[in-house]
A and B are shown apart, each in its own frame.
Chain A
Amino acid sequence: MAELHDLAGFYVLDALDPTEKDEFESHLEGCQSCRTEIGALSGGVEALARSVAEPAPAEMKRAVMSTVTASTATVLPFRKRSWQLVAVAAVAALVFGIGTLRVTEQERFDQLVAAADSRQVSLQQSGVGPVEIIWSAMEGAAAFRAETVPEVDDDQTYQLWLIGPGGPVSAGTFRPGSDGAVLVILEGTPSPGLVVGLTVEPEGGSNAPTGEVLAALEI
Chain B
Amino acid sequence: MLAIMPVRPFRASPARASLRPIAFRPETPSLEVLLSLVAAGDRAAFERLYDDVADVVFGLARKVVIDRELAREIAQEVLVEVWRKANTYDSSRGSGMTWIAVMTRRRAIDVVRSVEASRRRETAVPDSPPSPDPVGDRVVDREEHSQVRTALDELSTLQRQAIDLAFFGGQTHSQIAETLQLPLGTVKTRIRDGLLRLSQTMSEEPHG
Contacts and interface: CB of A to CB of B under 8 A. Distances in A.
Given A15-B170, A48-B198, A90-B32, 20 more contacts: A6-B188, A10-B191, A13-B166, A14-B105, A43-B203, A44-B197, A45-B198, A47-B202, A52-B63, A56-B57, A56-B72, A67-B80, A89-B90, A123-B15, A167-B4, A167-B6, A191-B24, A206-B7, A208-B7, A219-B21
Contact of B21 (A38, A87, A192): A192
Contact of B56 (A35, A53, A161): A53
Nearest to A124: B15
A177 interface: no
B205 to A, nearest CB: 10
A47 B199 contact: yes
Interface residues of B, number: 100
A46 B95 contact: yes
A191 B16 CA distance: 19
B138 interface: no
B22 A44 contact: no
A32 B173 CA distance: 23
A150 interface: no
A28 to B, nearest CB: 9
Interface of B: 2, 4-8, 10-17, 19, 21-27, 30, 32-33, 35-37, 39-47, 50, 54-60, 62-63, 72, 75-76, 79-80, 83-84, 86-87, 89-98, 100-102, 104-106, 145, 147-148, 150-152, 163, 166-167, 170-173, 185, 188-189, 191-192, 194-199, 201-203, 207
B105 to A, nearest CB: 7
Interface in A37-51: 38-51
B56 A50 contact: yes
A15 B75 contact: no
Contacts of B60: 49, 52-53
Interface string A117-143: 001011100000000000101000010
Contacts of B44: 170, 204-207
B92 A93 contact: yes
A107 interface: no
B97 A79 contact: no
Nearest to A159: B42
A81 B88 CA distance: 11
A37 B140 CA distance: 28
A98 interface: yes
Nearest to A204: B43
A60 B79 CA distance: 10
B80 A68 contact: yes
Of A68, A164, A174, the most chain B CB neighbours within 10 A belong to A68
Given A47-B201, A50-B202, A169-B27, A10 B173 contact: yes
A72 to B, nearest CB: 8
Given A71-B84, A216-B13, A203 B41 contact: yes
B12 A197 contact: yes
Of A9, A67, A197, the most chain B CB neighbours within 10 A belong to A9
Contacts of B102: 12-14, 45
A93 to B, nearest CB: 4
Given A45-B101, A53-B59, A195-B14, A204 B42 contact: yes
Interface in A145-161: 157, 161
Given A52-B60, A121-B17, A121-B19, A44 B199 contact: yes
Contacts of A13: 102, 163, 166-167, 191, 195
A43 B102 CA distance: 12
Of all A-B residue pairs in the complex, the 9 with the closest CB atoms, nearest first, are: A188-B24, A44-B195, A194-B23, A83-B40, A190-B22, A42-B94, A43-B199, A216-B12, A51-B151
